[in-house]
């Protein structure tokens, strides 16, 4: 019985992924407010902002890095 072997090449096109940058915004006057954090991040970087935790005054802003 004859064996058949198929050889082939698969090429995949890869586009570079956007890098994500992080900015830490300290909220003065107490704890981080979720809505204010999100609004500041959107205004400053057109990104997404979240509070570090419920007791922190740090807003973490993630956005696409400019190249």
SS (H, E, C) 50-67: EECCCCCCEEEEEEECCC
Beta bridge partners of 6: none
**Among 23, 29, 22, 32, residue whose Cα is nearest residue 52:** 32
Task: Read off the pLDDT band of 15 (50, 70, 90).
Answer: low
Residue 11 lies in a domain: no
Residue 43 lies in a domain: yes
Residue 29 lies in a domain: yes
What pTM does this model have? 0.65
Residue 52 lies in a domain: yes
Match 């956007």 to its residue by tokens. 18
pLDDT at 64 over 90: yes
Residue 3 lies in a domain: no
Residue 51 lies in a domain: yes
| Domain carrying residue 31 | 20-64
Give the total residue count for the chain. Answer: 67
User: What pLDDT was estimated at residue 16?
Assistant: 55
- Domains in the chain, number: 1
DSSP label of 46? S
Residue 9 lies in a domain: no
pLDDT at 67 over 70: no
């Amino acid at each position: 019985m004859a064996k058949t072997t198929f050889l082939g090449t698969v090429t995949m096109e890869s586009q570079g992924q956007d890098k994500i940058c992080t900015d830490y915004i300290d909220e003065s006057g107490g704890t981080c407010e979720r809505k204010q954090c999100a609004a500041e991040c959107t205004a400053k970087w057109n990104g997404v902002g979240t509070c570090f935790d419920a007791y922190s005054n740090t807003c973490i802003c993630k956005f696409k890095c400019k190249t």
